[in-house]
Amino acid sequence: MKKQTLSQFMAELKQEGFRLNFINTIILTAIFYIGFFVAFPYLITTGISTFEAIYGTGLLFWALFSVTVYMHRLVAHKCSKHIAMPVHIWGNLGSVFALQSDTATWAGRHITHHAKEDTKEDPYSPMRSNNIVVGAMWSHFLTHMFDSPHEGRYDKNSAILHKRHPILRFFARFYVPLLVVQHIALPFAIGYAFLGGFEAGLRLFAIHFCFVALLHQITWTVNSVTHIFGQQMGKCSAKNAWWYFAPMGEGNYHSGHHMFPAHYRNGSPWYIFDPSGWMLWCFEKFGWVGKLNRKPRYEIQSRTLQNYQLYLQNRYPELWADWQLKTEEMRAAFESKVQAFKEASHERTTEAKKEMRIAYKQLLARLNAFNKASQAA
Ligand SMILES: [Zn+2]
Ligand SMILES: [Zn+2]
């Protein structure tokens, strides 16, 4: 089939009922161009002070973790039933800095991204176009510039979240005034007061927008990069890209995240790079959130292998027959070890764990080999 062009894609969007949101488009485009092509060169040529650098990185990480820890894992995926008020306030103020709509609106869309993976209702699917470049543009930034005909579904999810956390209603109502305070008044006032005068205020304002522009690009890659690059292990386009660290843990193991969205961390065991998961673990220890949702590791591994196998079988059905017998044997061996481990809940030994791990590795290696051989064929 011929690859779709960008203009064909736009025409299709129009036909489906998508409408360009002029305000969003102007704001997002202005941040991108002013942040990267005006503010950034100006600051590089004039030099950044330590105070300015701390302000910029502090802003970046506050906003970034608000998106990953609060908006994403705690609110959209409910990885803990209880969220203390200071965490709500920290997360919502951060969501204003992140400039990607209020928490409930953002989470309402994200819930649909999971519930309707890669369908027309999925707001972020790069599979919307058969041209992966156009799909990448859509999932990365174009989607934020359009009002969708599926807005009703997203709003329903947001309304449920408003009921669950009434404070989200407050922050949604005051979102625009907070934008003005946090993005215009605050950087200017801090620069004016601490760095001395009007020009310092303007400089901090420039730094502010540089880092907001950078933050946009990082958070949006969770919808583009993690659905395009890496190893596909499940039925949807989400991939496991072990090397992609920029979004603080949301980049790697995205396929695993689509399989277990409520599980509080990406990847297992604990030392797999996931600062958002580590932060949640600390929040739990401090009592700032309730008990975190944890899926046992063997359950994650079992489902991952199952989905991976199904994906490969569907993708290369004609090549599967030669590999089936041995793979099924390995699958049976692994599942029996998992079952034995589950049942022996009072006497789980390191020996049983080791056996399960070996069986897992053998099956995974087999599936990876099949994948490689099929790709080469
Ligand atoms: Zn995703
Ligand atoms: Zn998610």
What single DSSP character describes residue 4? P
Ligand 2 centre distance from Cα of residue 261 (Å): 6
- At 370, list the tokens: 């099949």
Ligand 2 centre distance from Cα of residue 265 (Å): 11
Ligand 2 centre distance from Cα of residue 279 (Å): 17
Other C-beta atoms closer than 10 Å to the C-beta of 207 total 24
Report the predicted TM-score, pTM, of the whole model to 2 decimal places.
0.93
CA distance readout (Å), 44 to 38, 47, 198:
10, 5, 20
Ligand 1 centre distance from Cα of residue 199 (Å): 42
Per-residue model confidence as pLDDT tens digits over 272-318 = 899 999 999 999 999 999 999 999 888 888 999 999 999 999 989 98
Q: Are 71 and 62 in contact (CB under 8 A)?
A: no
Q: Which residues surround ligand 1, an ion (CB under 5 A)?
A: 238
Per-residue model confidence as pLDDT tens digits over 187-210 = 999 988 888 888 888 889 999 999
Ligand nearest to the CA of 236: 1
Ligand 1 centre distance from Cα of residue 221 (Å): 10
Give the up-direction half-sphere exposure of residue 26: CA atoms within 13 A in the CB hemisphere: 3
Among residues 163, 194, 233, 149, which one has the least CA distance to residue 54?
A: 194
Taking residues 119-139, report their average pLDDT: 95
Per-residue model confidence as pLDDT tens digits over 205-243 = 999 999 999 999 999 999 999 999 998 888 899 999 888
- At 23, list the tokens: 């305000």
Ligand 1 centre distance from Cα of residue 313 (Å): 22
At 345 the pLDDT is 66
Taking residues 14-42, report their average pLDDT: 94
| 153 confidence band (pLDDT: 50, 70, 90) | very high
Sign of CA dihedral 365, 371, 372, 373: positive
Per DSSP, the three-state class of 74 is helix
Question: Any idea where the domains of the chain sit in the sequence?
Answer: 6-286, 297-376
Ligand 2 centre distance from Cα of residue 281 (Å): 18
Ligand 1 centre distance from Cα of residue 146 (Å): 19
Q: Are 56 and 44 in contact (CB under 8 A)?
A: no
Ligand 1 centre distance from Cα of residue 186 (Å): 33
- At 97, list the tokens: 């800095």
**pLDDT surpassing 70 at residue 84:** yes
Ligand 1 centre distance from Cα of residue 85 (Å): 28
CA distance readout (Å), 23 to 20, 149, 160, 365:
9, 18, 26, 50
Ligand nearest to the CA of 109: 2
Mean pLDDT for the chain? 92
At 243 the pLDDT is 87
At 346 the pLDDT is 63
At 347 the pLDDT is 65
Look at the block and give the residue holding tokens 């503010």: 39
Per-residue model confidence as pLDDT tens digits over 90-128 = 999 999 999 999 999 999 999 999 999 999 999 999 999
Ligand 2 centre distance from Cα of residue 209 (Å): 26
At 198 the pLDDT is 86
Taking residues 318-341, report their average pLDDT: 88
N-to-C CA span, the chain: 21
Ligand 2 centre distance from Cα of residue 344 (Å): 33
- Alpha-carbon gap, residue 180 to 178, rounded angstroms: 5
| 184 confidence band (pLDDT: 50, 70, 90) | very high
291 or 48: which carries more pLDDT confidence?
A: 291
